[in-house]
Amino acid sequence: MINNLLEGLKYNIKGLKLGIKTWKLLLLALLRFIILIAFTIILASLGLKYHDNLMNLIWARPESIWIVWVWHFVSWVMVMFLIGVSTILSYIISQIFFSVFIMDYMSKITELMITGQIGETKGSIFKTALYLIKQEIPRAILPIMISLFLFIIGWVTPVGPIIAAISSIITIIFLSWDNTDLVPARRFLPFRERFYMLMKNLPFHIGFGIYFLIPILNIIFFSFAPVGATMYYLESIEKKGESSQD
């Protein structure tokens, strides 16, 4: 278990080093960051633009000076809520596009560098892209929904710190799986088999995703994560499968 955890730490660093040295991977990683920021700004701007209309629907500004301060507080909470929703929606949208197009392309480049070829897939480019989109939607939404659910439980129960820790671990596991699942999803492996690989290698995914908890640096590690995850799958999972077959 400890070795698997350390392996996750190692492969994220290996992917970052290879990504920085390879200009194609570096440009693709920067593109993902730009997409996320762009969607966040656009959605947040739209939310703030219609903020007053939403407040009027929820609660019209009272005339009493004794109550208006409560209205201002609710208005401020609404602003924070809209920014938070914009960030979450931006993450989901950018994650879907990033995973389907940019992450998969980064994974293919990495596979070509390591093996000299891209493994055979079972469908056309259009069929593969559509399949990856359908796979990425639940993988992007599920960890957020679980985290929000645990966050609410943490607020209404006295075990908030424990719930927060569990939520963080679950989130980084799913974020890591977004990357380690790129190659098997591209191979059209059944979902049950891919989910089994996730559960079997949970310590690796925790170690791989620990970097995602570091503020600011998590953006860098997250952008290059497809590289390290592809290296891990090709060098560990797939090789072990081939050796077991022999």
How do residues 52-91 score in pLDDT, each as one tens digit? 777 777 777 777 777 777 877 777 777 776 666 666 666 6
The number of CA neighbours under 13 Å toward the Cβ of 151 is: 8
Identify the band that residue 165 occupies on the pLDDT scale cut at 50, 70 and 90: confident
The model's pTM is 0.73
The pLDDT value recorded for residue 158 is: 64
Asked whether the beta carbons of 220 and 20 are under 8 A apart, the reply is: no
Max CA separation in the chain (angstroms): 80
The pLDDT value recorded for residue 97 is: 67
pLDDT(244) > 60: no
Quote the domain boundaries for residue 57. 2-245
Angle (nearest 5°) at CA 176 between 170 and 178: 105
CB atoms under 10 Å from CB of 52, counted, come to: 12
The pLDDT tens digits for 178-200 are: 899 989 988 888 888 888 999 99
The number of CA neighbours under 13 Å toward the Cβ of 231 is: 21
CB within 8 Å of 221: residues ≥ 6 apart: 12, 16, 211, 212, 214
Mean pLDDT of 28-55: 78
Three-state DSSP state, 26: helix
In terms of phi and psi (left: phi > 0; alpha: psi -120 to 50; beta: otherwise), the region of 60 is beta
Q: Quote helix, strand, coil % in the chain, to nearest 5.
A: 85, 0, 15
> What's the Cα-to-Cα distance from 191 to each of 6, 173, 186, 194, 245, rounded to whole Å?
26, 16, 12, 5, 21
The pLDDT value recorded for residue 216 is: 74
Enumerate the H helices of 98-190 as residue ranges: 104-115, 125-156, 160-180, 182-186
pLDDT(113) > 80: yes
Domain count, the chain: 1
Identify the band that residue 110 occupies on the pLDDT scale cut at 50, 70 and 90: very high
Using alpha carbons only, how large is the chain's radius of gyration in Å?
Answer: 21
Tell me how far apart the alpha carbons of residues 185 and 128 are, in angstroms, rounded to a whole number.
9
The pLDDT value recorded for residue 124 is: 65
The pLDDT tens digits for 151-162 are: 667 666 666 667
Tell me how far apart the alpha carbons of residues 33 and 181 are, in angstroms, rounded to a whole number.
21
